[in-house]
Amino acid sequence: MSTASTTAATPVQTHVGKPKWIRVKLPTGKNYTQLRGLVDQYKLNTICTSGSCPNMGECWGEGTATFMILGNTCTRSCGFCGVKTGRPDQVDWEEPEKVAQSIKIMGIKHAVITSVDRDDLKDMGSILWAETVQAIRRLNPNTTLETLIPDFQGIHKHLDRIVAVAPEVISHNMETVKRLTRAVRIQARYERSLEVLGYLKEAGANRTKTGLMLGLGETREEVIETLHDLRAHEVDVVTLGQYLQPSKKHLPVVEYITPEQFKEYETIGLELGFRHVESGALVRSSYKAQKHIL
């Protein structure tokens, strides 16, 4: 693992060559081809396509897709994220129906819904979040759901709206270890994200989930400490994947985590009691998401 100082405030600015195990497979298969055609024909918006996810072929082949709501402009400026930052557009209150129709057209079995942060809104976007889940349930009663939500600044009444519509999984990503949170997630707080995950469980969430990006300069001990913190807040599912720099203006990759190290984290996570641990270089938040409802 990294030899970065445990007192460093930000990831070291360095260039690291990409190893052989970071290889994106071209998506193939009958189900992928069919869904790709529907997305192009109806101009449907999925994070899978707009984010060029390396697992798109595998997920689509299993009937899983991820959709982003509340626009494509975020009110936060995280150092790892490729989503643009600025003043978001007005809320499209027809969006819940549009997303629900997209899922119906694609025949999605398990949908993951995510969004940008909308700190500009009084409700942080939580009302449209709830209406989206309800619209999907109405048009797609057999589709299971994961909601990958922002922290809503930790405000309970906004979180309660998500719990009330009862998605099978409620996810909120920690993204990184405590020491690096300020550099990686400028407007977020490590403790607040832990509190959000703990509160969701207390409020009655069916299953809670989070994700970490590795290779930003964290140490092995910090990753294990984070896993312990998550279990202390009764998180059920965790994903661990390799951070890949979206552009030169984003935080650099400090190191590429080896497959052996990812395997060790998976073993440690399972021993700690997580129901599911997805750990690998190309793992992303929604990877194998359909398994996480079991």
- Does 67 fall in a domain? yes
Q: What is the CATH number of the domain that holds 63?
A: 3.20.20.70
Q: In the prediction, which pLDDT does 2 show?
A: 43
If one counts the domains in the chain, the total is 1
Of 278, 276, 274, 280, which is closest to residue 292 (Cα–Cα)? 276
Does residue 158 lie within any of the structural domains?
A: yes
Tell me the Cα Rg of the chain. Answer: 18
**Residue 158 phi, psi (nearest 5):** -75, -40
How far, rounded to the nearest angstrom, does the alpha carbon of residue 90 sit from its chain's CA centroid?
24
Q: Is residue 39 part of a domain?
A: yes
Query: What does the pLDDT read at residue 290?
Result: 87
In a domain, 10, yes or no: no
Single-letter amino acid, residue 109 = K
8 found inside a domain:
no
pLDDT tens-place string over residues 235-257: 999 999 999 888 788 888 999 99
Note the pTM of the prediction, 2 decimals: 0.86
Q: pLDDT value at position 100?
A: 94
CA 108 – CA 51 distance, rounded (Å): 18
Give a yes or no: residue 70 inside a domain.
yes
Segments in the chain below pLDDT 50: 1-9, 12
How much is the pLDDT for 64? 85
H or E stretch including 276? Answer: strand 276-279
pLDDT digits (tens, 9 = 90+) for 256-293: 999 999 999 999 999 999 999 999 998 988 878 888 99
Residue of 246, 214, 253 whose CA lies nearest to 85 = 246
How many angstroms separate the CA atoms of 282 and 225, rounded? 22
Whole-angstrom CA distances from 92 to 58, 129, 153 are: 31, 12, 22
Examine residue 243 and state whether it is found in any structural domain, yes or no: yes
- Domain-located, residue 7: no
Question: Could you tell me which of 240, 235, 227, 223 has the C-alpha nearest to residue 171?
Answer: 235
Distance (Å) of CA 257 to CA 143, 244, 279, 280, 291 = 35, 11, 11, 9, 24
Its domain, for residue 87, covers 30-293
